[in-house]
Amino acid sequence: MPELPEVETVKNVLIPIVKGRKILDIEIKRRTTIQGDPVVFIDSLKGETFNDISRIGKFLIFHLTNEKVLISHLRMEGKYYEFDEDEPDSKYARVVFHFDNNKKLCYDDSRCFGIMILSSEKEYRQEKEISKLGPEPFAINDVSFLLKASKGKKLPIKSNLLDQSLMTGLGNIYVDEVLYASKIHPLTPSYAVTKKEWELIVKNAKTILTTAIELGGSTIKSYHPGKDIDGNFQTRIKIYGKSGEECPECHSTYRFIKVGGRGTTFCPKCQQKHGIPLNVAITGKIASGKSTILEAFKNKGFDVLSCDEVVKNLYLNKDVSEHIEKLLGISFNDAKVDKDILRKHLIENPKDKKKLEKYVHGLVREEVEKFLLTSNSKIRVVEVPLLFESKFDMMFDTIIVTDIKEEKQLSLLKNRDGFKSDDLRVINSNNQIDQNKNKATYLISNNSSKEEFNKKCEDVISKLISHLD
């Protein structure tokens, strides 16, 4: 969706095209684009001349003679194209304005979400779409009203910033950029954002939006402003749409989550979440100390869940056992999953591993989501060995990864389960910890003494507790 800089760019491009031009006729090719009576819309604007264009938030305000005003919101894909009269209309033309210079202006909208509203100079600021808008960052010098409006609000700060009634002009791209520049986690509850952080948000919003306007906005694959309009801010984007890339500040890997249904990218180390609840995932290789950390959280009184225990209980369920038998064409005894039979089958039929994981991961996800939804704990902790393989990482704002060298890992497993080095290599080759550990908020090495590892765990827990306020 075009945001403030893109709309400002469209405004600046359109002014020399329409200013001083008289409307000879208007064609409405899609009725729903016009809010109100389309006949009144045409009759009121026909014969009028454009005086100027202004902008409020993401709305274009066309000022015409005789105090007439046309409000236009581009929504997701709205664009304006100028053509000679003898040229075909644009492919998705919804409204066409015919001018007195043998030119026409096509409002093009493939998604048909854009709107046009007929108003007047006296009334347009009271139109409901305009009147509910908050101030732009440029107009904010005192953030006290932002602090007051967010008091007691559990809504994630990203969702709050996307609410145009609080502060207008920031959309998905620029909210990600502003929060990254301000070092604030997008899931931080709004009530936990301090006055100093609000001042940072406003300051960075002004800087980023000003730069974007100077560069003509962003021309990205999801939105191109229109004919002969190209923005260059995408060359300055620091984080939006860059999930998986390296943060230049801390060298962690950017993570992707969804906040209120909106795709969101953030740095797990530069943008740590504050406020409650904290949803924490623990992952790592086998025998790397995951259970030790989980137990440490439990001893502090926080709610914990082990996905291994979830799977163990699922395998005792008759319905689950029967479904896996049908899915893989195997037979178990005693109406429960026999892990030895299952393991042997998967070794002989490696392609069935994905079938099994798709089914089991779905069941585990349901249990994890239920746990996160129903727990009243300030910190909810889930041990997820296959966090990245199952794509469960999107469910958590904080990730702890335990790291261990293969030599120590093998030693621990030999003492515990009699593992062989060949078995270990197969297991380690199947997990995705090494290529994803840079996504960790905290990476805890378990290559020294047990006492040292326990101390590291306690330090991390203490830091997380300090983030609750």
439 and 298 assigned to the same domain: yes
**Interatomic CA distance for residues 370 and 358, integer angstroms:** 19
- For the segment 184-204, the average pLDDT, to the nearest whole number, is 97
Does residue 60 lie in a domain region? yes
Instruction: Give the residue, 409 or 429, on which the prediction is more confident.
Output: 409
Mean pLDDT for the chain? 91
**pLDDT class of 271 with cuts at 50, 70, 90:** very high
Query: What pLDDT was estimated at residue 220?
Result: 44
Instruction: Give first-to-last CA distance, the chain, whole Å.
Output: 35
| Alpha-helical runs (H) found in 184-333 | 195-214, 290-299, 307-314, 318-328
**Interatomic CA distance for residues 312 and 381, integer angstroms:** 18
**Interatomic CA distance for residues 17 and 195, integer angstroms:** 43
3-state helix, strand, coil in the chain (%, to 5): 40, 20, 35
The answer to whether 254 touches 267, Cβ cutoff 8 Å, is yes
388 and 432 assigned to the same domain: yes
CATH number at residue 407: 3.40.50.300
Does residue 211 lie in a domain region? yes
Confidence check: pLDDT of 84 > 60: yes
Neighbour-count burial of 64, counting CB atoms closer than 10 A to its CB (0-12 exposed, 13-18 middle, 19+ buried): buried
In order of 139, 284, 336, 353, the CA distances from 356 in angstroms are 56, 21, 15, 5
Confidence check: pLDDT of 298 > 80: yes
What is the set of active-site residues?
2-3, 58, 262
Token representation of residue 260: 């209120």
CA nearest 21: which of 46, 39, 42? 46
Token representation of residue 289: 């100390």
Q: Which residues pair with 106 in a beta bridge?
A: 81, 96
Buried b (16+ CB within 10 A) or exposed e, 348-384: eeeebeeebeebbbeebbebbeebbeebebbbbbbbb
| Final residue belonging to a domain, choices 351, 370, 389 | 370
CA nearest 396: which of 456, 427, 357, 436? 436
Token representation of residue 467: 């983030």
Query: What pLDDT was estimated at residue 429?
Result: 61
Report CA Rg, the chain.
28
Query: What pLDDT was estimated at residue 144?
Result: 97
**Interatomic CA distance for residues 463 and 428, integer angstroms:** 30
Instruction: Give the residue, 334 or 228, on which the prediction is more confident.
Output: 334
CATH number at residue 179: 1.10.8.50
196 and 323 assigned to the same domain: no
Predicted TM-score (pTM) of this structure: 0.86
290 and 387 assigned to the same domain: yes
Q: What is the DSSP letter of 227?
A: T
Concatenated DSSP letters of 381-394: EEE-TTTTTTTGGG
362 and 416 assigned to the same domain: no
348 and 456 assigned to the same domain: no
Q: Which residues pair with 280 in a beta bridge?
A: 381, 398
354 and 385 assigned to the same domain: no
Query: What pLDDT was estimated at residue 221?
Result: 46
Concatenated DSSP letters of 165-201: TTS-S--HHHHHHHHHHHT--TTSBGGG--HHHHHHH
Query: What pLDDT was estimated at residue 417?
Result: 63
Query: What pLDDT was estimated at residue 222?
Result: 45
Does residue 268 lie in a domain region? no
366 and 392 assigned to the same domain: no
41 and 147 assigned to the same domain: no
Confidence check: pLDDT of 111 > 70: yes
Does residue 384 lie in a domain region? yes
**pLDDT class of 469 with cuts at 50, 70, 90:** confident
HSE (CB half, 13 Å, CA atoms) of 180?
A: 25
Does residue 94 lie in a domain region? yes
Confidence check: pLDDT of 217 > 80: no
286 and 423 assigned to the same domain: yes
The count of structural domains within the chain is 4
Q: Which residues pair with 23 in a beta bridge?
A: 99
**pLDDT class of 224 with cuts at 50, 70, 90:** very low
Confidence check: pLDDT of 129 > 70: yes
- For the segment 327-346, the average pLDDT, to the nearest whole number, is 89
Give the amino acid at 276.
I
Residues of the domain holding 110 = 4-129
Query: What pLDDT was estimated at residue 227?
Result: 54
Q: What is the DSSP letter of 101?
A: T
CATH number at residue 64: 3.20.190.10
Does residue 245 lie in a domain region? no
194 and 78 assigned to the same domain: no
294 and 434 assigned to the same domain: yes
How many residues are listed for the chain in this entry? 469
Query: What pLDDT was estimated at residue 287?
Result: 84
Does residue 350 lie in a domain region? yes
Does residue 338 lie in a domain region? yes
% of the chain residues with pLDDT over 90: 77
